[in-house]
Each structure stands twice: as C-alpha cells, then as structure tokens.
Structure 1
Amino acid sequence: MLRTVAAVLVDGFATFEFGTICEVFGIDRTEDGVPPIEFRVCAEHPGQPVRTSIGMRFIPEQGLDALHGADLVAVPACDIRDEYPPAVLDALRQAANRGSTLLSVCSGAFMLGAAGLLDGRRCTTHWRYVDSFAARFPDALLDPDVLFVDDGAVITSAGTAAGIDACLHLVRRELGSAPAAAIARRMVVPPQREGGQRQFVELPIPDCEGDSLGPVLTWMLEHIAEEHPVSALAKRARLSERTFARRFVAETGTTPHRWLTTQRVLAARQLLEQTTLGIDEVAERCGFGSAALLRHHFHRVVGVSPTDYRRTFAQRPA
C-alpha cells in the first residue's frame, strides 16, 4: 500500500522534478477517489533553507528521521556532484533496509547510485547522463532507452516528464488504475505514455575522427536516397574495398551500411517534424524504398513508429 511518501531534498535540487513528486503524491485528491497519502518533505537540517538548482531557497520542516515509516522515499533530480551528503546517503540505505520503496527522478538516480542502491539493479536516468552514469556506477544495469524502470523496491525514471510517468506507474501499481487515471486527469497528462526516451535523444551526425573520408560522407548525405554499395564508395575514395571498409569503421566507429541507415533515420525525423509528406514519400526521399522498411529502422533507432513520432514532434502553426 502507499500511505506515506517522503521526499528528500539536498542542495541543488530541481524544482520541477520536486514539483512532479508533490503534484502526484502531495495533493489531497480524496474527492477524486484517491486514497489519502501523508506527504513529508525532508532534509538533513530541518528548518534550514535548501538551495534549488536555480538559486531559490526552500525550507523543509522535517528531518531525515521522517523517512521512518515511509512507504515511498522519493529523490528528485539534483545537481550531479562527486559527493553527496553522507547522512542523506545513509538515510536512504536505512530506508531501503526497512523495506521502503525508493523512487528517483532524472539525475536523482546518481544519488541512489552513490548510496549503493543500484548495484545489480535495472535502472535508468536522463539520456544525456547515461555515459557518465555508466562509468560511475558500472555495477548498475542501466537501460538508457526507457522512460522509467520498475525494479520492484527501486524505481528510476528518465528526465523531467518521465518522472510523471514513473510516479503514475507507482500509483497504478500500489493503488490501482482508477486512482492513477484520476490523478492524471487532474494533471491533464496521459495516464501512460508509449515509447521510451530514445525518441527524444539527439542523433547528431557521427564524428569522423580523420578527414580522409569527409568528402565521401558529405557526398553520401547529399545523395542519401541513392544506393551506396561499398564498391562504389571505395572507388570514390580511391581505395580498395577492404581498405575502405576498415578505414570507415576506424574513422566513424561503425560500418557504411549502419552509418547510412542512421543518417536516413535522421533525415526522416526532420521530414516528419517539418513537412506533411506521407510516410511513403518520406521513405522514398530518405532512401528506404518502402514505408515498411522505414518503420522497421525508425522504430529500431528511435523507439517509436514514424506516425507516433510525427504526432509528438511535428511543427504546427500556432
């Protein structure tokens, strides 16, 4: 059951992500059929101001002892740092040992990781931080593609709005679909979103560490709808096929086919965002040949279908 929720704040916490936790768990929605939830806001030094990530000050009234008896301990996003307050990390570990569920929003996963609570667990964080997170917590089982991960006693979410998804999921898990739908309706958000965070990840053109293939890469992009067999590319680069393939991987980190496929998906994203072209025409202009092939590669790279992506990201007149 979910009767008591405690949010833990440290200096540099993010106001929006904290507000997400407050919105889902801290507002009395009993008139909408949501069971009452006791909401506590805690910090290491109660009654003293805690600085937000944008310089404001917030004064929690309760200390870390208020984590005792909490069914859920929530950690909003906060500034990523080398060290977190030892007392807060210890309080999180004690809460986990007592059987509390822990939830993090966005970079809050770093604090759970610093407390050693993600070792051997599936988890996620914002896509911008996945490399640094993986390097810092190699024993965590990081999934960079999803909006949130429910690993039972620990729930982690990706950036900002994904925290809403994770919080509503927890309500659905503990209290049922009706309370989750009621809260979502009041927040004017979908009770459950489809897809993962891959659809939001920037996909820049892969860096080419050398410059010998630069003209070939540029030519491929300028003729993206055409077929590009390795033999023809090697001839353009004035290299043997074997040397070209080896140098391509060395300079781009991937094969010509995979590089070109990623660039075609990038081009399709732009057309889906900026034009009203049909899926068949988008596929043709990007070199996929058929809508079915576009859907296959688009879903593999972005995580959602081209239609769903356009529905979310298409530019529309005000």
Structure 2
Amino acid sequence: MHRIGYVLADGFQVMALGSQAVFEFANLVVGEPWYGVQNYSANGGEVRSSLGLTVGTRQLTSRSSADTWLVGGVLDPVNVLPSKAVVDFVRRVASKARRVGGLCTGGFVLAAAGLLDGRRATTHWSYADAMQRRHPDIQVESDRIFITDGAVWTSAGMTAGLDLALGMVEKDLGAEVARSVAHRLVMNQRRAGGQSQHSEMLKLAPKSDRIQQALDYARQHLAEDLSVEQLAERVHLSPRQFSRVFTAETGQSPAKAIEALRLEAARNMIEQSRHSLETIAQETGFRDRRHLREAFIRGFGRAPQLMRRDARPSA
C-alpha cells in the first residue's frame, strides 16, 4: 500500500481534502486498497478549516512516515506563517519520502523548508508574486496548474489539487487508470500540469444567456468560420446588435474573444496531445501552422513549439 500523509494546520483550505477523493476512486478502479490516506497536524487532534469544519488528525512525530506527503494550504499564506514544527518535519522527511507536494498555498511550507530552492514551482495565482518575493531562489511559474520538479510537486489553487493528485495516480498506476478516475469524478477534462490556471470562458463572463449561448456554440465549433453574422443568427440578433451587446457584456469584440478561445483550445491540445501543429491549427480554426504560430506569439509571447516543450516535464 502506498501511504499518503496530508499535513494540515488550523485555517487549512477544505479543497485540500477534496483531492483525497482522487486516491479513493483510484482504489475503486484498481479493485484494491492501493492508496492509504491519513491526516496529520503538528499537535494532532482536531484541526479547524477556514470554513469552520473540524478534521481529526494524528500528531506529527519522528516516527510518522508516508510514501507521499501533501501539505494543505491556508487562505492567507502571507500573514499566516507555518509553524516551525511543521516546516522542520517537512524538511526532515523530504529525503525519506518518495515525493512531497504542496497543494495551493501549501507550497509556502515547502518553500520555507528550502525544498523549492532552485526548482520550478507554482501556487495560487494571487500569491505567486508573494512567493517569488519571499523566496527569490524559486522559479515561480504563476500560470501553471501543477508542476513536478523531481520528487517535489506543487499545484495552483483550489481545484488544481485534484489535477495534481490525478497526475500522481497516472505516475503510479498509468494513464488508463487516471482517465477512469477522472471519468468517475465527472471531471470535465484532465488538465496537464503545464496548462494555464486561467480560463477564457470565465474571463469573458457574459451577463445574458444569449451571449453565453453564442460563446458555448463558438467553443464547440472553433474549426468553423464563426463570423459575427453566424453567431448573431444563432441567438436571433442582428449582427450590429450582437456586436454591441457582446462587447458591452464581455469587454471584448466578438473577433477578439473568438481568437482567445481558439488560442486556449490550441494551447490545451499542444500541452496535452501529440497532434501536429498543422492538425491543431486546423481543429481550432487557424488557417495553418504559420497563422497559429503568429497568434501564439501575439497572445502568449512564445512559439507553440516552446510551449509544448515546457509542458512535457510537468505533464
């Protein structure tokens, strides 16, 4: 059995516990208790989350051991510093465990223990700059779902902990088991570690159902022309009225929003698939590979080949 120890502190964010479901369902998929999960804290006993939920924990001692240690994050890692006992424990067990991970702002504990020095790491996007300022020896990448650098794993905020846990399952039990776990958890998609923390659909955030319907249609038909006239017809508006309402609700023109959706879809395919750039360009609505490259450099400041290369170690 692969033992996983969760390190929690008062004020921990409850989403850290959500990632435990990944290991629970991995056991169901393989038909045996492959993973064993246990919660720990500095003093043991009940630990209260930021929401007020209490969880029973075992005390961290010199005899505490696990194959994987995962440190849960708190809502404000800048002002709520980790206890010396937890930092010392994490530093001590890092060389003995198979791997150590920081969920969301739990990466600040790993950083305080010196485990991230000279490594690539990520955390919740709103605290990435704070981590970089506090620990300049870390290569903080704020736009990543999770990062694996050797035996040290770090994830972005909230739901990214699920992706990190799923990445561990894939590492341990293979891609097919990981896909089955994701399916049972009704995860919309499996996100590779190199994927962006941000979603264009969330960023656009239209206020009306009509514009949301137009965006949903566009995302499902990116390979098509998707002219203003076509989208306007789908939601029963004139092209002029559609453009005016769309821009007012999203802050972007329809053409700019569609390109952003195409870039996001192409980026996901580049990071998660082995399709050629020509195929990806075709399926996401770009004229050809050259057009895709120009859009990537304009939108991300990087060529798609570089993005694929950088995503491979994390995925």
**TM-score category (smaller protein):** 0.5 to 0.7
Using the size of structure 1 for normalisation, the TM-score is 0.61
| CA distances 1:183-234 after superposition (whole Å, capped 9, x unpaired) | 2122112563256225438999xxxxxxxxxxxxxxxxxxxxxxxxxxxxxx
Q: Alignment partner of 2:167: what SS?
A: helix
Residues 295 and 137 from structure 1, CA distance in 2 versus in 1: closer, same or farther, beyond 3 angstroms? Answer: same
Q: 1:162 and 1:28 mapped to 2: Cα distance?
A: 17
After superposition, residues 72-221 of structure 1 pair within 5 angstroms as 72-79=68-75, 80-82=77-79, 83-189=81-187, 192-193=190-191, 196-197=195-196, 199-200=198-199
Aligned length: 228
Q: 2:184 and 2:170 mapped to 1: Cα distance?
A: 15
Whether the aligned pair in 2 keeps the contact of 1:17 and 1:163 (CA below 8 Å) is: yes
The amino acid across from 1:123 in the alignment is: A
1:44 aligns to what?
Answer: 42
Q: Alignment partner of 1:39: what SS?
A: strand
Q: Alignment partner of 1:29: what SS?
A: helix
The amino acid across from 1:18 in the alignment is: L
The amino acid across from 2:181 in the alignment is: I
Q: CA deviation at 1:123?
A: 0.9
Q: Alignment partner of 2:95: what SS?
A: helix
Q: CA deviation at 1:7?
A: 0.4
The amino acid across from 1:8 in the alignment is: V
Whether the aligned pair in 2 keeps the contact of 1:203 and 1:266 (CA below 8 Å) is: no
The amino acid across from 2:103 in the alignment is: V
The amino acid across from 1:3 in the alignment is: H
The amino acid across from 2:12 in the alignment is: F
Gaps of 5+ in 1: 205-263, 275-288, 306-318
Q: 2:63 and 2:294 mapped to 1: Cα distance?
A: 46
Residues 117 and 17 from structure 1, CA distance in 2 versus in 1: closer, same or farther, beyond 3 angstroms? Answer: same
Q: CA deviation at 1:133?
A: 1.2
Residues 116 and 46 from structure 1, CA distance in 2 versus in 1: closer, same or farther, beyond 3 angstroms? Answer: same
After superposition, residues 227-306 of structure 1 pair within 5 angstroms as 270-271=257-258, 295-296=292-293, 298-300=295-297, 301=299
Q: CA deviation at 1:4?
A: 0.2
Whether the aligned pair in 1 keeps the contact of 2:8 and 2:39 (CA below 8 Å) is: yes
Q: CA deviation at 1:267?
A: 7.2
1:68 aligns to what?
Answer: 64
Residues 58 and 143 from structure 1, CA distance in 2 versus in 1: closer, same or farther, beyond 3 angstroms? Answer: same
Identity of aligned residues (%): 30
Residues 99 and 29 from structure 1, CA distance in 2 versus in 1: closer, same or farther, beyond 3 angstroms? Answer: closer
Larger radius of gyration: 1
Q: 2:103 and 2:128 mapped to 1: Cα distance?
A: 14
1:53 is aligned to 2:50: yes
RMSD: 3.5
